[in-house]
Amino acid sequence: MKKRAVALCGAAVVVAGMVTGVPADASAGTVSGPRTTIDAPPAKPAWKKCGTSDYPTLQCASLKVPLDHTNPRGRQITLALSRVPHTAKKYQGPLLVNPGGPGGSGLTLAGFVASALPPKVAAQYDVIGFDPRGVGASRPALNCRPGHFSPVRPDSLPSTPAVEKANLDRAAAFAKACAAKHADLLPHIGTVSMVKDMDAIRQALGAKKINYFGYSYGTYLGAVYAKLYPDRVRRAVLDSVVDPTGVWYGDNLAQDHAFNDRHLAFAAWVARHDTKYKLGTDPAKVEAKWYAMRGALAKKPADGKVGASELEDTFLPGGYYNGYWPYLAEAFAAYVNAKNDDPLVAAYENFGAVDAAGDNGYSVYSAVQCADVAWPRDWGKWRRDNWDTYAKAPFMTWNNAWYNAPCAFWPTTASQPVDVSNAAAPPALLFQATDDAATPYEGGVAVHRLLRGSSLVVEQGGGNHGITLSGNTCLDKHLAAYLTDGTVPRGAGGGGADAVCKRLPDPKPLTAKSAPSASRGATLHRLLGFRG
């Protein structure tokens, strides 16, 4: 969640009229389950053109929803929406898309999904993006403590009591700032409130049911929606699946092990390309040079910007998407071999630095994760668990701990976890890479078990996070079939999977200095962001 695409639709977009309603054949069936407590359906969005050169048909609108869905006549907030309208005679209803986070903006994602799906498939849907409450162009937007990630931060590794206290003080200050600035909003920023917003969007679109496509945290959002409103789901695609049995403390500890494995995979890739990077052919020695670089930066940050913590921030995206490896390896090699830290500083600014959108995203991330479920309030437990994890997975353990540490001080009362087990919703289609770091493989298996009738498609040996519409034609074939007519694979994959696809090849080193890749995978991962 460090850096995300700039939102397309500003706060100035307002509801100004009516549009043609959703055709009656958009969905069928009765509606049951919990009702969103809105006295009357929301006003239909007034769509206005907001296209870009990349997504020229994109439209934007806004929607008023209650801050507190149990008090529908109380204070209203505004959700920013985007849409690529259907063009085919056959219309299959709205397809809501979400990039994860929590805290990710989905406005641009609608344009990406509509352009990346096969044209005949995309033409049958209104692809709907939205900024969840508190995010981006939705109003009000959270920004608890601007500049919280300004460099240089204390070393994430709490090697002394003073370093640990400095990091604890930062975490507590962030939670205190959120309480002071957004006390009225925080009790209503959470997964269940966002799910009820999704149902308000459904009502405003005039649809009896929605189709849904979520990445990362968006898979949990979709699973909770299906739990609360099973008869309002038509189709659901969940890509890179959150383990709902570990939200959120346990899931973050599991991430630490998986990210360490991805860092080892990066070191092995660098070693295989020693003729290019000259860092050695032994992955263990490459890894040792990375930690030596970390130690040197802890003592003397590069350009006064990239200390040990910022180095971790810079290399974390490589755990999400291996398309970044060539850029990270060049910066690594330049620092070690030529004592040149310019490429490293540039890599930090491209991959690790947090801008205003990142401050907003982190504020929402914290508000959702810290309030969704209870976190340990005893810092002693955090200390023990993270040192135990660090012993096996040193790469990101403490960086991740401090990222989530405001939850130890969070000012609002925690909710109860949602049991997403579901036998009432229609079959969902799940996608999961076996070596995903942000949402480890076990999450896909767990949700496959919990959602009766679901189908699991596995990318064997894949390590990227967010795998459909990223260049793997095998995965995308299953996605297109499902969105076309509901077809899912059944039981042919073995080991609990219904289908298995080969992973994409690893990237190749850069042959010359060039701009960041314009591949579809790179575009998607810029939209998904990091920490999602």
CB proximity list for 93: less than 8 A, separation 6 or greater = 22, 26, 27, 125, 126, 207, 209, 210, 211, 234
Distance, in Å, from the CA atom of 257 to the CA atom of 437, rounded to the nearest integer, reads 8
Query: Could you give the residue ranges of the DSSP H alpha helices within 142-278?
Result: 161-182, 191-205, 217-228, 249-272, 274-277
CB proximity list for 500: less than 8 A, separation 6 or greater = 457, 458, 459, 460, 493, 494
Alpha-carbon dihedral sign for residues 525, 526, 531, 532:
negative
Task: For residue 7, report the phi and psi dihedrals to the nearest 5 degrees.
Answer: -65, 140
Tokens of residue 400, six digits: 């991740």
> β-pairing, 48-49 with 429-433?
unpaired
Residue 481, burial from CB neighbour count under 10 angstroms (0-12, 13-18, 19+): middle
Distance, in Å, from the CA atom of 246 to the CA atom of 74, rounded to the nearest integer, reads 34
Q: Would you please indicate which residues are annotated as catalytic (active-site) residues?
A: 216, 436, 465
SS (H, E, C) 43-66: CCCCCEECCCCCCCCCEEEEEEEE
Neighbours of 299 (CB within 10 A): 9
Task: For residue 15, report the phi and psi dihedrals to the nearest 5 degrees.
Answer: -75, 120
Distance, in Å, from the CA atom of 343 to the CA atom of 333, rounded to the nearest integer, reads 9
Distance, in Å, from the CA atom of 114 to the CA atom of 121, rounded to the nearest integer, reads 9
Distance, in Å, from the CA atom of 303 to the CA atom of 352, rounded to the nearest integer, reads 15
Distance, in Å, from the CA atom of 331 to the CA atom of 289, rounded to the nearest integer, reads 13
